[in-house]
Amino acid sequence: MSKVYIALQDNDESRYIVEAIEEDNPDVTVIHMPAMIRIENEGRLTVNRETVEEKMGRDWDVQELHVNLITLGGNVDEDDDSLSLHWNE
């Protein structure tokens, strides 16, 4: 299975998003580079609204992810509750 990935700007909001991703996808690899954080996982990765809201302590719209997003790899599936990335093969 190939790796999906997402990269976020290294800032205060992303810190909570990364924490949420790590909690919901325990096998992810988190790579810190200058000004950015790259998160990789075999096959699939999900960002759940509820977990991010819990970490941030406020309401969070999944589409707010766009503000801090740098890049991603994988087929995207987005709805009101989560954004997920996956490869079929």
Partner 1 sequence: MAAKKLNIKDKYRLLTRDLDWEYSYADRKEAFPYEDFEGIKITDWSKWEDPFRLTMDAYWKYQAEKEKKLYAIFDAFAQNNAHLNVSDPRYINAIKIFLTGVSPLEYQAYQGFAHTGRQFGGVGARVACQMQSLDELRHVQTQIHAMSHFNKFFDGFQEYSHMHDRVWYLSVPKSFFNDARTAGPFEFMIAIGFSFEYVLTNLLFVPFMSGAAHNGDMATVTFGFSAQSDEARHMTLGLEVIKFLLEQHEDNVEIVQKWIDKWFWRGSRLLTIVAMMMDYMLPNKVMSWKEAWEVYFEEAGGALFKDLARYGIRMPKYSDIIEKEKEHISHQAWWTFYTHGHAAGFHTWIPTDEELDWLSEKYPETFDKYYRPRWELAKEMEAKGERFYTKGLPQLCTTCQIPMLFTEMDDPTQTSYRDTVYNGDRYHFCSDGCKDIFEDEPEKFVQSWLPVHQIFQGNCGGPDVGDILSDFYHMNVGVDNMDMKGSPDELRWKQWKGVA
Q: Which residues bind partner 1 (CB under 8 A)?
A: 2-5, 7, 9, 33-36, 62-64, 66-80, 87-89
Give yes or no for a contact between 46 and 73, defined as CB atoms under 8 angstroms apart: no
Closer to partner 1 at the Cβ: 56 or 62? 62
Q: What percentage of the chain's residues is helix, strand, coil (to nearest 5)?
A: 30, 45, 25
Closer to partner 1 at the Cβ: 9 or 15? 9
CA dihedral 18, 21, 23, 27 (to 10 degrees): -110
Closer to partner 1 at the Cβ: 26 or 34? 34
Least distance between partner 1 and beta carbon 50 (Å):
15
Least distance between partner 1 and beta carbon 24 (Å):
19
| Eight-state DSSP code of residue 89 | -
Q: Which amino acid is located at 73 in the chain?
A: G
Least distance between partner 1 and beta carbon 12 (Å):
12
Q: How many residues does the structure list for the chain?
A: 89
